[in-house]
Structures are given as C-alpha cells and as structure tokens.
Amino acid sequence: MALDDEKQGFSRRLREGLRRASADAGAPAALAREFNLRYDGTPVTVQAVRKWLSGKALPSQDKIRALALWLDVSPQWLRYGEGESAPARALRQEGAAYRADAAWLSRKYEALNDAHKKMIVELIVALLRLEGKR
C-alpha cells in the first residue's frame, strides 16, 4: 500500500511542477513529446506518461532527474516530496553542459520529422547570417 501512496504523491508533485513551469499537464502526448526532447535515453511512451500522471507508475531515477531539471525542482522533492520544490540550480548547470553535447543534439535532431528539421536548418542559416554581419 505504501508504494501506491508514493505513486500518488509523485503524480501530485509532477502535476504541480508542470503547472508551475506552465507546461501542459493535461495532455500526456504533449508531455511525452516535451520530455523526450529533453531526455537522452530511450523515449517514453504516451502510455507511460499517462501512468505517471494518474499515479499508477513511477519513472526511473534518470527520468526523474530529467523531469526535475526541466521543471526546475529537486529530484528528491519530485520523487519523495522531501525538501523544497526550489530551483535545482546545480542540476540546471549540469543539464546545460549535457545538452551542449553534439552527439545528444544530433540524436534529437534525427528524431524530428522532416518539417521540423527544415525549420531548424533555416534557423541556423539565419543565425549564421546574423553572425556574419557583425
């Protein structure tokens, strides 16, 4: 029974963190998409996210860390409700260095559909043109 309480508590804190971050907590598909853009592991399914939101499942610790980084809360608060939900500055700094990794960016780019890839390329070209004018 304690595990069910933990799942429900995580679900409440996840929804609270999403609300504070102005993320769409009511749409598992949108949450899965946004999470997968920020997570370097195997993508999560909409069904998995639906279970997180409904209190039927807990994500693994690496997924909790990714969620905490995105939502600007501590992983301990998100998972266990311990401590405060204050910004996790150290995690953000770690995540910023992590996201700058070229291999990570390449994998995330390849996961995009063709229309989004085209937008990214156009953005990069526009930024390079701006840099060239300086």
- What is the full DSSP assignment across the chain? -HHHHHHHHHHHHHHHHHHHTT--TT-HHHHHHHHHHH--SSPPPHHHHHHHHHTS----HHHHHHHHHHHTS-HHHHHH--S-----HHHHHHHHHHHT-HHHHHHHHHTS-HHHHHHHHHHHHHHHHHHHT-
The tokens for 11 are: 């679900």
Residue 21: what pLDDT? Answer: 82
Tens of pLDDT, residues 55-70: 999 999 999 999 998 8
Average of per-residue pLDDT across 121-134: 81
Given a contact cutoff of 8 angstroms between Cβ atoms, the answer to whether 80 and 63 are in contact is no
Residue 31: what pLDDT? Answer: 92
Residue 95: what pLDDT? Answer: 54
Q: What is the chain's mean pLDDT, rounded?
A: 82
Model pTM?
A: 0.63
Tens of pLDDT, residues 15-34: 998 988 887 666 899 999 99
Does 83 have pLDDT greater than 80? no
Superfamily of the domain at 2-100: lambda repressor-like DNA-binding domains (1.10.260.40)
Residue 132: what pLDDT? Answer: 73
